[in-house]
């Protein structure tokens, strides 16, 4: 798939993620295995121009936990600002998110890819929303491999 087709496919799937999970933000992060840094390569619903400039250690935050464990990691709504800061997930602070979830797409040994969804309101993700996000993640993984 060429660059433009990849961009369009990513954009469509991120829009689907936003709608189907009632999220305010959806992003795909890619980890550079050499530098151990994660960057957000596709973002939908972002309000800050800084989001795509974020580079964070792959081991930090929800995204790092999801990549290490190979499982969905969610952040419940209702945490204090201090708790959000301690989390170490820059996109949460930059975008003003109050609830979030990270879903690993592929194991870090192959290529570190993670989906990140978030809400700017104190409303945690339901199991159904996370299952739908995981289904869309499988579509993204298949698309990425093609």
Q: How distant, in Å, are the alpha carbons of 81, 87, 98 from that of 115?
A: 23, 17, 17
pLDDT digit string (tens) for 74-107? 987 766 777 766 777 888 888 988 899 999 987 5
Q: Which helix (H) or strand (E) holds 64?
A: helix 61-69
Domain locations in the chain as residue ranges: 3-145
Q: For domain 3-145, is the CATH number 3.30.450.40?
A: yes
What's the CA gap between 75 and 62, in Å, rounded?
8
Please compute the mean of the pLDDT values over residues 103-114 and round it to a whole number. Answer: 77
Residue with tokens 């936990």, as numbered in its chain: 65
């Amino acid at each position: 798939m060429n660059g433009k087709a990849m961009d369009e496919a990513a954009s469509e799937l991120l829009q689907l993620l936003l709608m189907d999970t009632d999220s305010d933000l959806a992003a795909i992060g890619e980890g550079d295995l050499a530098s151990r840094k994660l960057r957000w390569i596709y973002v939908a619903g972002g309000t800050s121009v800084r989001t795509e400039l974020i580079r964070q250690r792959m081991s930090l935050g929800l995204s790092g936990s999801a990549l290490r464990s190979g499982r969905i990691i969610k952040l419940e709504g209702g945490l204090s600002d201090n708790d959000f800061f301690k989390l170490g997930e820059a996109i949460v602070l930059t975008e003003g998110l109050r609830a979030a979830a990270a879903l690993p797409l592929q194991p870090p040994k192959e290529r570190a890819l993670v989906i990140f969804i978030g809400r700017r309101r104190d409303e945690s993700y339901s199991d159904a929303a996370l299952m739908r996000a995981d289904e869309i993640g499988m579509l993204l993984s298949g698309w990425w491999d093609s």
